[in-house]
Structure 1
Amino acid sequence: MKVLIVCTNHDSYPSKTGKTGLWMSELTHFYDTMTRRRVLVDIVSPKGGTIPIDERSFDLKDEINQKCFNDAAFLAKFEKSLSPSEVVAKDYRLIFFTGGDGGMWDFPDNTELQEITKTIYENQGMVTAVCHGVSGLLNVKLSDGSYLINDKYLTGFSHVEDTLMSFVSEIPFHLEDKLRERGAHYTKSMIPFIEFIEMDERLITGQNPNSAGKVASKALEELFEK
């Protein structure tokens, strides 16, 4: 069984000098949970190639981050991510969109990633995402023309969390608002940054970086134990 992890290529804010990109643990904690169960994992990004890391998230004191960045197999996939045109969607049972602010720029309008997501979902696969990565689901349409997330229960990075991270003026939109505009039933933890996931059939989403491992665990439970 194979799963596909989507990471951003976008690394800059409109006016802040700090670099954005992937939120590191949202990739590593999901990847580690999957590979410990011997699941095959590929990494794709909108343009392929290099994946920038949000400098605020680069933490090698995190044991799983350190484990992955000392692993040659992980680094080979991370440093040379696939481009969407190299992905055969029907080969995957699950797609996972990682977060980090960067994805808000290059996930929502990428039609190739939308098509891959639609194919996996309509082949009875799972669609999963965490934090700002949920923005990758905003414009995914199914074959009948409906939006994938319409009338679905899901979560994602909240207004409050964006505000507390203090980069709220830099991001292109508020994810919580856009999800509701698409007809999704948005839910969240009452306490910011607490692990929280939402599941609606074959759609599993996590609210914040602390939720990535839980999304992976729940997805494995669904894939292997049913």
Structure 2
Amino acid sequence: MKKILVVVTNISKYPNLERATGLWLGEAVHFAAEMEKEGYQIDYVSPKGGHTPLDPHSLQAEQMTELDWQYYSNDDFLNKLSTTLSADAINPNDYDAIYYAGGHGVMWDFPEDENLQSIASKIHANGGIVSAVCHGAVALLNIKNAEDNYLIADTKVTGFANTEEIAVGLDKVVPFLTEAELVRRGANYVKGEDWAVFAVADNRIVTGQNPASGGAVAKEVIQLLKSM
């Protein structure tokens, strides 16, 4: 059994706003919990390696589930987030799937990272799975396939909706809107109700719409892994 690669951000602050950001904790936790129940080993990676900050808004009581608290109280898990591997040190052949967790920080370090793009492209070319949730979907924007076409072109995907971004009041803060940019890359964007659990799988690409959807993405990934 190969491993699963979970990608997290290194960005701790909005470049254009006096406000902290980082990994949205639940988006890593709920995916990881489902994978670990099935016995998959997870490695955590970030563009630069080392520490990934946690978005303080994801740690508010109304956002945290019992499962989130279990992981937040787990020193081993927190140590992994503090000592992530760097993207340039990853061998894609070691992994069956890659998963991009979100949080607004990823808007500034995922889309243009060529190391992350190369890892995902090779995992997919090897017959593996590329997956993401919420803002993590921006990591998919510039991944190309062997024919030099966008990987998500003509593929059903989801990600943080324009209406959800507007609802949290950050549509003028982010460099672009996730949904709009996915459409610009030729993806067939689909969505469920705002804030409801929603995930979709197509062409070995699995995506979830919002912070509530990490576990649903994991279940789709597991189903695909079992069919491989």
Q: Provide TM-score, normalisation by structure 1.
A: 0.96
Contact 1:59-1:65 within 8 A present in 2 as well:
no
Contact 1:85-1:112 within 8 A present in 2 as well:
yes
For residues 142-177 of structure 1, the C-alpha deviation after alignment (integer angstroms, 9 at most, x for no partner) is: 121111011111000011000111122210101111
CA distance in 1, matches of 2:136, 2:185: 16
SS of equivalent to 2:104: coil
Identity between Structure 1 and Structure 2 (%): 39
CA distance in 1, matches of 2:202, 2:227: 17
* Structure 1 position 201, deviation (Å): 2.6
Within the candidate set 194, 197, 200, 2:199 is matched to: 197
Report whether the alignment pairs 1:75 with 2:78.
yes
What CA RMSD, in Å, does the superposition of the two structures yield over aligned residues?
1.3
Within the candidate set 96, 105, 116, 1:93 is matched to: 96
CA distance in 2, matches of 1:188, 1:4: 25
Report whether the alignment pairs 1:4 with 2:5.
yes
Segments of 4+ in structure 1 off by > 4 A?
A: none
CA distance in 2, matches of 1:72, 1:22: 17
Give the match for residue 53 of structure 2.
Answer: 52
SS of equivalent to 2:85: coil
Which has the higher mean CA deviation after the structures are superposed, 123-132 or 171-180?
A: 171-180
Give the match for residue 136 of structure 1.
Answer: 139
CA distance in 2, matches of 1:79, 1:225: 33
* Structure 1 position 225, deviation (Å): 4.5
Mapping of residues 1-226 of structure 1, within 5 Å: 1-59=2-60, 61-189=64-192, 191-225=193-227
* Structure 1 position 70, deviation (Å): 2.5
CA distance in 2, matches of 1:89, 1:188: 30
CA distance in 2, matches of 1:15, 1:115: 29
For residues 67-119 of structure 1, the C-alpha deviation after alignment (integer angstroms, 9 at most, x for no partner) is: 11232332231110000122111000000000111101100000000000001
* Structure 1 position 15, deviation (Å): 3.7
Q: Which residues of structure 2 form unaligned runs of 5+?
A: none
